[in-house]
Amino acid sequence: MVESPPPLLDVRDLRTHFATDTGMVTAVDGASFSVPRGKTVCVVGESGCGKSVTGRSILRIVDAPGRVVGGSILWDRDGTGDPVDLATLDPGGPDIRKIRGDEIAMVFQEPMTSLSPVHTIGSQIAESVRLHTDLDDDAVRGRVIEVLGQVGMPRPESRYDAYTFQLSGGMRQRAMIAMALVCHPRLLIADEPTTALDVTTQAQILRLMVQLQAEMDMSVLFITHDMGVVAQIADEVVVMYLGTVVETGPTEQIFTDPRHPYTRALLQAIPRFGQRRAGRALSIIPGSVPDPYRRPGGCPFHPRCAQARPGTCDVVEPATVTVAERRDVRCVLAAEEVHS
Amino acid sequence: MMTQFVIRRVLYMIPTLIAVSIVTFLVIQAPPGDYLTTVVARLEAEGQYVDRGQLDALRERYGLDESVWVQYWRWITGIVLHGDFGQSLVYSAPVSDVIQERLGLTILLSVTTLAFVWAVAIPIGMYSAVRRYSVGDYAATFVGFIGLAIPNFLIALILLYVSYRYLGQSVGGLFSPEFVDARWNLGKVLDLLAHLWIPVVIIGTAGTAGMIRVVRANLLDELNRPYVVTARAKGLPERRLLIKYPSRIAASPIVSTVGWLLPSLISAEIIVSVVLSLPTTGPVMLRALESQDMYLAGSFLLVLSVLTVVGTLISDILLARLDPRIRYGRR
């Protein structure tokens, strides 16, 4: 077996907690996954499962009172096998700031509110370049116009001086992507970048991201709740539920052979063409994500799981078992299959 | 774009100013009788001889027998073309002479106070927002509420007492006795500065306290906006981030207060000036109102209104500089 190179990003047992007045919210509670070089990894799950907080924890930009309280985030930029643990860095310190926007960049969900309304998009993108390079003003401007062109912004020279309110939703998101890519990051974290866009624009932005990823040879951590998007762009999938990773694996295997009951339920909840005429109702996952203040004991998914076994699932937290190469499942059922 | 905006905005000012002057004139005309009846009544009460010829000349000059509109026209053209604000009957002198020196000091006092309010309130408010619920925030909030709650004149009296009793400094007025009638020179300017801080602190306290709350609330609103997270994700240091993004956007509502802050400072100044006997417009305005000195009171009203309109103009221009959405806004 060929020794595979160390992953670009290796998240181990990440815990991010929010100490609020009404109690402790364990937004991310022991999540583990890794991002290989040059690949797209999709993090999926319902609202409130900790996907976004996971993405922000990596860059250490979790909003107060949230804090990374445990685990490690190993960042191995050059594949030397000597990674930096981002979880131990001071979130306000210079070390993490050097990585932000330069080695790891982020694209957010709502480009209208995620960009400043009172600065031109050019100046906002140029700021990244100025922070991370020593280029002079002309070179910075040239670099910004170049990247605006790369993301398919028409007439990039004149759009440099445009404000967000003068652009359409799709163009704003392109500007946002340009801002993330301007310093050639090794990893792009995209937090539901297409959710706020209409379907046509969504497709354009997805295509653009796939194309740019290939051109720039970077890894993408794509956070989404849309299994359709996952099918289109992911090499690997990380399924999250209530702050834990319940299943990871190559996309094809996740879609054809889901092992965790939650993954199966998610896949069954994808609407299919002709479903209604065939007399089949859209299947939904019963119940909803539990109150973050009152997490169920044992397996977090057991109250909604069709195959839950009383006495086991509501008592013991299941262990994560590796069922195949790069294929982990956190469920007692999978554990039994492996052992038998 | 900016020039166009300013020109448009200045043109809009003209009808506003005309309307303001009409209202002011109607207000000074509202008491029964006219200016001359008041003069005659006063002179006769003092047993003085009333010169018919002089009266007729005045009557002719202000068009007192004509309609209200003619009178308004004469009044306003007198002000605009000749700087003639009419006669003050309390001071028996032209209104412009009474106002002139005092108005300069009032504007100096108000502008200094405004600068004081901002210089103190903005850093404290920003600190309070960024370090919310810290000891410093609670301290600023506590001091702020006390500043809001204590009336100006009380602070004035306390400061008067403290500085007279313990500092041995006379705090009445803006000048030491030897400089009051002196010509302007360096000594007089320094003397003015030595006296100015007391009224500035007194008049500015309530404004500062209020402004701290406004700055804090506005900045808190902006601190957790997604664009702040975006800027942080770029690797921007926190301090630069704070100044460049949320503060810039939180500044808009504060800048828009310039318009009304100016007149409110001037009216706060009235009470304080009476207490501290400052040679500003405040006490004169009060006296004019008490004694129905129509032209004097009217001139004050007019000047205050014009200051408000000008203040609004300044704040609008600043807002447009700060926020492109206003600059490019639909007209």
Question: Contacts of residue A102 in chain B, CB cutoff 8 Å?
Answer: 235
- Tell me which residue of A279, A255, A278 sits closest to A268, measured CA to CA: A255
**Closest Cα in chain B, distance from residue A233 (Å):** 24
> A55 and A107 in contact (C-beta within 8 Å)?
no
The pLDDT value recorded for residue A276 is 66
Question: Contacts of residue A176 in chain B, CB cutoff 8 Å?
Answer: 230
Q: Which range scores top for mean pLDDT: A274-288, B34-48, B162-176, B304-318? A: B304-318
Distance CA A9, CA A183 (A): 18
- Tell me which residue of A235, A182, A225, A204 sits closest to A37, measured CA to CA: A235
What's the order of all strands across the beta sheet hosting A104-107? Answer: A104-107, A187-191, A219-223, A40-44, A236-241, A244-250, A327-329, A321-324
Interface of B with A (CB under 8 A): 224-227, 229-238, 244-245, 248-249, 322-325, 328
pLDDT value at B297 more than 70: yes
Q: Report residue A324 as tokens.
A: 């195949």
Distance CA B84, CA B295 (A): 10
Q: Which of B227, B237, B323 sits opposite A113 (nearest CB)?
A: B227
Distance CA A319, CA A114 (A): 38
Range scoring the smallest mean pLDDT among A133-147, B5-19, B80-94? B80-94
Contact A166/B at CB under 8 A:
yes
The pLDDT value recorded for residue B199 is 85
The pLDDT value recorded for residue B171 is 62
Q: For B88-98, what is the mean pLDDT?
A: 82
Torsion sign over Cα B227, B228, B229, B230? positive
pLDDT value at B215 more than 70: yes
For A30-82, write each residue's pLDDT tens digit: 899 999 999 999 999 888 888 999 999 999 999 888 999 999 999 988 877 78
Percentage of chain A exceeding pLDDT 70: 97
Q: Supply the DSSP string of B237-293, one letter for each residue.
A: -HHHHHHHTHHHHHHHHHHTTHHHHHHHHHHHHHHHHHHHT-SSHHHHHHHHHHTT-
pLDDT value at B142 more than 80: yes
Distance CA B195, CA A302 (A): 76
Q: For B104-125, what is the mean pLDDT?
A: 88
Q: Which of A92, A127, A163 sits opposite B234 (nearest CB)?
A: A127
Torsion angle, CA of A228/A230/A232/A236, rounded to 10 degrees?
-150
Which residues lie closer than 8 Å to B272 by C-beta, 6 or more apart? B152, B153, B156, B199, B202, B203, B278, B282
Contact A105/B at CB under 8 A:
yes
Distance CA A69, CA A17 (A): 7
Q: For B213-232, what is the mean pLDDT?
A: 91
Using the 8-state DSSP alphabet, how is residue B68 labeled? H
pLDDT value at A83 more than 60: yes
Task: For residue B127, name the pLDDT band (cuts at 50, 70, 90).
Answer: very high
ipTM of the complex: 0.87
Distance CA A29, CA A53 (A): 11
Residue type, B51: D
Using the 8-state DSSP alphabet, how is residue A197 labeled? S
> B258 and B314 in contact (C-beta within 8 Å)?
yes
Residue type, B185: N
What is the assigned CATH class of domain A1-103+187-257?
alpha beta
Buried b (16+ CB within 10 A) or exposed e, B248-259: bbbbbebbbbbb
**Closest Cα in chain B, distance from residue A201 (Å):** 21
pLDDT value at A153 more than 50: yes
The pLDDT value recorded for residue A138 is 93
- Indicate the helix (H) or strand (E) that contains B38: helix B35-45
Domain boundaries, chain A: 1-103+187-257, 114-184
**Judging by beta carbons within 10 Å of its beta carbon (0-12, 13-18, 19+), is residue B40 exposed, middle or buried?**
middle
Angle at A293 between CA A287 and CA A294, to 5 degrees: 55
Distance CA B172, CA A284 (A): 79
pLDDT value at B257 more than 80: no
Q: Considering the domain B101-290 in this protein, what is its CATH number?
A: 1.10.3720.10
For A252-310, write each residue's pLDDT tens digit: 999 999 999 999 988 988 877 776 666 667 777 888 778 777 778 888 888 888 888 88
CATH 1.10.3720.10 residue ranges of chain B are 101-290
What backbone torsions phi and psi does residue A55 show, to the nearest 5 degrees?
Answer: -60, -45
- Tell me which residue of A220, A169, A163 sits closest to A194, measured CA to CA: A169
Range scoring the smallest mean pLDDT among A9-18, B51-60, B200-209, B222-231? B51-60
